[in-house]
Amino acid sequence: MLKRHARAACTALAAAGLLLAATGAVATAAPADSADTARPQKSASATLRTADAPTELLAAMQRDLGLTPTQAKTRLAHEAEAGATAARLQARLGAAFAGAWLDGADAGTLTVATTRAADAASIRATGARAKLVSRSLADLDTAKAALDRAATAGTPVRYVDPRGNTLVVEETRPGAAKALLAATGTDAALVTVVRTAEAPRPLYDLRGGDAYYMNGSGRCSVGFPITKGTVNGFATAGHCGRAGTTTSGFNQVAQGSFQASVFPGNDMAWVAANANWSSIPYVKGSGGANVQVTGSVLQPVGASVCRSGSTTGWHCGTVQQHNTSVTYPEGTISGVTRTTVCAEPGDSGGSYISGSQAQGVTSGGSGNCSSGGTTFFQPLNPILSAYGLTLKVTGTDPGPGPGDPEPGGTWKAGSVYAAGATVTYGGASYRCIQGHQAQTGWEPPVVPALWQRL
């Protein structure tokens, strides 16, 4: 764990990552149910506004992912469509689902794994590739949970690798993984052991990516600006401060204080700002430009993800695994996302954004931006849900369209919905297929990328 003080370089990360499509062509959103066909429907890429991706984000993707300008734009659109497709397939396959991932420079290939051979045809019908494997995602997650409870700093990172259909355990010393498997009774056939010389640590170091100071000394970065009722503030990493820790802004002007914080276990916190500060729906981009935030739809494995940090600037990579567990010297955190984006001390707490979709806040990592590295982010939606926060987003309320049903039911703008959650709206029931914070204009009938009518 690296804590930066006032004279050291510290900052935040901003990430951009989206989901891809399949077999060389974008996997289009599943057809709307017949009851919804008379209503206007948005594709996933339209819902997530990938066409509005800022130029600085596209430039960073070109630089760090080796893309052409056309590939960068195409990739964002492919990722959005494939994300919706993968989410629908996960719901359809149930216990047989074994993960999904994206491949190709422009994210043109979505692969979905299953333990049931009979599923292959329905997977291919969506435009995705099908892969038959022996272990379900649920089985591997269950095995990982047992390892998480007994892990030490000798096995600092554990995650499920859907491509290999295996549970990966990183060890910093020979025999550490073997001892962990023995202690938990885990079948060694489920596990791939990877030796690593570097152990992750939190990157200590009201626009996302701007620096802030804790108690006048240590420095971290703003994750995403939020509101809670009439209060302005921001989400950030829990290891940056505890409830009551005071903060000052990038300009050293009094800013606010931590209202709640969790670390270890998770790495989440939020800061309430005083009346001199206002939340704006942007992340600090290259050269200080504003990058808009329009939502919080979490994107899958293989998606591109970029970050902005006051220590290291804009850098991009891809999502490697979700639901990763990391054991820092201070303890274990679970549910973080592992990425190939580089970072350095001082980037903690900062924003990861995928296109215009907020992904999470920087927790920790290893390596640096000279030789490369690995970082982990705490997903944002659990922070919003845990503390009742509303993400600050751009855009205006379009109001109800012609022929819309009377609003009503359990769906509510501002609520955070996890994949699998069910709501009612306008007399119909819907299942959430991609986790997100609901907002006006994203009502279930008009966003099939996010909701499936039951």
In sequence order, what DSSP letters do the residues of 238-268 get, joined into one string?
Answer: GGG--TT-EEE-TTS-EEEEEEEEE-SBS-E
Q: Which residue from 361, 333, 357, 336 is spatially nearest to 269, judged by alpha carbons?
A: 361
Cα 100 to Cα 266: distance, rounded to the nearest angstrom: 25
Cα 211 to Cα 348: distance, rounded to the nearest angstrom: 10
Give the N- to C-terminal CA distance of the chain in Å, as an integer.
47
In this structure, are residues 234 and 270 in contact, taking their beta carbons and an 8 Å threshold?
yes
Is 239 one of the annotated active-site residues of the chain? Answer: yes
Which residue among 348, 351, 356, 366 is the active-site one? 348
Is 52 one of the annotated active-site residues of the chain? Answer: no
Which residue among 119, 148, 267, 347 is the active-site one? 267
Beta strands in 109-161 (DSSP E): 109-114, 129-132, 157-161
Which residue among 45, 64, 239, 334 is the active-site one? 239
Backbone phi and psi for residue 169, each to the nearest 5 degrees, phi listed first? -125, 120
Neighbours of 78 (CB within 10 A): 31
Longest pairwise C-alpha distance within the chain: 66
Is 33 one of the annotated active-site residues of the chain? Answer: no
Cα 263 to Cα 67: distance, rounded to the nearest angstrom: 37
Active site residues: 239, 267, 348
